[in-house]
Amino acid sequence: MTTVTRFEVEKFDDNKVRGSLWQRRVKTLLAKEELFKVLHDKESKSHGMTDADWEDMNFKAMCTIELCLAYEVMYNVMDEI
């Protein structure tokens, strides 16, 4: 049996949301999705993981973080991501 848990992370807008609390929620979300390790350097990847798998995991983590950004913030950082 599969249990689906749904929750919402308030989008970071640089005004209303406290950065440290938002960062903690996003880290928790990445850990839940088993994507947390990409926040560290590539040396922390699991043994046996290919570079392609690592890049795929990195892309998924980046997309997850982007979904937690308000449009205005996303617009300002989209060239950096």
Beta bridge partners of 70: none
- 2-59 confidence digits (pLDDT tens): 555 666 777 887 766 677 888 888 999 999 888 988 887 777 677 778 889 888 999 9
In the DSSP assignment, the letter for residue 16 is S
For position 19, what pLDDT does the model report? 78
For residue 70, is pLDDT > 80? yes
CB 37 within 8 A of CB 45: yes
Nearest of 70, 71, 78 to residue 19 by alpha carbon = 70
pTM summary value: 0.74
Give the model's pLDDT for residue 56. Answer: 92
